[in-house]
Amino acid sequence: MSRPSTRSLSDRAFGVWGVLVLIFLFLPIAVVIASSFNVGRLLVSWDHFGFDSFLALFLKPAVRDAVLVSVWTGLIAALVATLLGALAGLAMARHPGRWQLWLLGLLLLVSVTPEIVDAVSLLPWMVTLGQDAGIAIFNDGIVRLVIGHSLFSVAVVAYLVRARLIGLDAKLEEASADLYATPVTTFRRVTLPLAMPAVLAGFLLSFTLSLDNTVIAAFVSVSGSTPWPVYVLSALRSGLRPEIAAVSTIMLVLTLAALALVGYVLKRAGDSAADIARTMSGG
Amino acid sequence: MRKHSGILLALPAWLWLVCFFVVPVAIVVVFSFGEKPDIFSTHSLEHLSFDRYAEVFTPAFFTTFLNTLWIGLAGTAICLVIGMPVAYWMAVKVRPERRGLLVALVMVPFWTNFLVRTIGWQILLAPEGWLSTLAQGIGLPAFEILNTRQAVLLGVVYNYLPLMILPLFVAFDRVSGPLREASADLGAPKWTTFFRITLPLAQPGIIAGVLLVYIPLMGDYITATVLGGAKGNMVGQLVAGQFQTALNWSLGSAMAVVLIGIILVSVAIGAGIVWLVTLPARSRNRLVLGPAQPAGARAVTAPAVVEGAGA
């Protein structure tokens, strides 16, 4: 007869542990958000409450430029990654061949290589292409950032699109072909709408991945186009001011908006919580 | 044309990754055999040798590699211990309609800028910071954890915990409720059901979680920079320092190659250990169907049935 009470006791222990861990996960984020309302010289020591720190976004050109570089790079990198990754995912799902194993192997390699290795590899390569070989485009800050940020995202988008199309029946496309649709029409009217949730989710994930990228950005960025995380990293050495927290809070809201959109798109496409969790932890 | 359309569609991604991933990484591997000829140049490939690798294995640098390995192993283990009950709670205990919300709550920290959440810890742990003030308020001594190895360990556990919880949640979610109910109906206590049914079926997710945490953690460079102070506790900082400050690209490249080597070797050793440890469980759980060896099959499955009924 003691069974039900012990059962609910262990359930309660699980619940308490889960809530404690969630608090742990949100603790530093809450601290950063709270600090953004700090008006004072230093981020670490609380002075008094106010919204002054948020004004830095408008008053300090360096801060504003860094945010703009981040958003701009994020959009372009997401476009590049989505285009390349979606085509690769489509190819793997609908036209598999022996080459597919090589591509999957390469994508896996890209996604497991520590970022620091990508970063230190890209730096000499950009210098070689831009200065030694004289290809001026590789000296452009935005181009360098887009290349560095897109690598991992290409793999993510390719996985997403491949998984989505493999889960859907290829007979739809065959039926379209039987009804005399050209391959282009079939692609536009059948394949693309089917793959769209994955493509859109991939785009938004690539955007947030790029927005967050610190390590590769710190190595390949050139002065004049410093993205926001690199600005924060350099502020770390010279002393953190409350405006860092304020602008980070704004960036957090931007990231969360993108993520909420991803969740909405996937949910509308019929994914469960577990499917969404799988998608967002990188396949 | 139709036959090759797959290759053609994948070609842009293929070229992009070869050009900006394979080639630069290969160049770094080549650099690692070079040297730094004088203070003005970053590298030279005049005399190829293994000297940079010998340099990496000198105590001055190798201590950092051992330190990184320690943080990597300890951090991954702590993430697993903390994350497993949370994932199990989310997948099994919580009402299904709340799962989406909890997944979202775990994802928010995961997608918050890595550097910013680490700075959040720096603010919290600072000697005159919030936690320290709180501790002093209730009569405890002031915090002196910032810029130590413990702070880095706390930071990596925090930063990579969502990467452990999410795949574990997916894995536990896949182990269907009816299987666990069947086990309970057959009289198995909860722990037996967990170790004999849930855990073996969730194994791929556990492996995925461990790898998702361990591999990026070993290459981490931000956490140690923000929380570990100037002491340079992890290899990532060492590599970055060689490329950005010391301008010795050959030595930095050799360090990066050794880092990848250590990651691969330790994952292989870990896989071997897991294979050996689960060997008895696997042979015990194996169910041999068909008339091939009726006596042997009964001998293999019988203990499981007896144990399940007796427990």
Give yes or no for residue A60 having a pLDDT over 50.
yes
ipTM for the predicted complex comes to 0.85
**pLDDT 10s digits, A197-216:** 889 888 988 998 898 899 99
What is the reported pLDDT for A258?
83
Pick the closest to residue B145 from B158, B126, B173 (CA basis).
B126
- In angstroms, rounded to a whole number, what is the distance separating the alpha carbons of residues A271 and A219? 38
Q: Which member of B20, B99, B120 has the closest CB to residue A273?
A: B99
| Tokens, residue B228 | 């570990």
Give yes or no for residue B290 having a pLDDT over 70.
no
| Tokens, residue A213 | 């990228």
Give yes or no for residue A6 having a pLDDT over 60.
no
Distance of CA B69 to the CA centre of its chain: 12
Mean pLDDT (chain A) is: 85
Q: Which member of A118, A124, A232 has the closest CB to residue B116?
A: A232
Closest-CA distance of chain B to residue A55, Å: 19
Give yes or no for residue B308 having a pLDDT over 60.
no
CB B234 within 8 A of CB B207: no
Give B194 or B303, the one with higher predicted confidence. B194
Pick the closest to residue A114 from B28, B47, B92, B162 (CA basis).
B28
Q: Is B9 in contact with A90 (Cβ distance < 8 A)? A: yes
Q: Please tell me if residue A60 touches chain B, with a CB cutoff of 8 Å.
A: no
- In angstroms, rounded to a whole number, what is the distance separating the alpha carbons of residues A17 and B86? 7
CB atoms within 10 A of CB A7: 11
Q: Is A117 in contact with B259 (Cβ distance < 8 A)? A: yes
Distance of CA A179 to the CA centre of its chain: 40
- In angstroms, rounded to a whole number, what is the distance separating the alpha carbons of residues A142 and A148? 10
What is the reported pLDDT for A281?
62
Q: Please tell me if residue A75 touches chain B, with a CB cutoff of 8 Å.
A: no
Angle between helices B114-125 and A228-238 (to 10 degrees): 20
pTM of the model: 0.84
What is the reported pLDDT for B154?
93
- In angstroms, rounded to a whole number, what is the distance separating the alpha carbons of residues A242 and A42? 6
H-run or E-run covering B70: helix B59-88
Backbone angles phi, psi at A11, to 5 degrees: -60, -40
- In angstroms, rounded to a whole number, what is the distance separating the alpha carbons of residues A201 and A63? 29
Q: Is B14 in contact with A90 (Cβ distance < 8 A)? A: no
- In angstroms, rounded to a whole number, what is the distance separating the alpha carbons of residues B25 and A121? 5
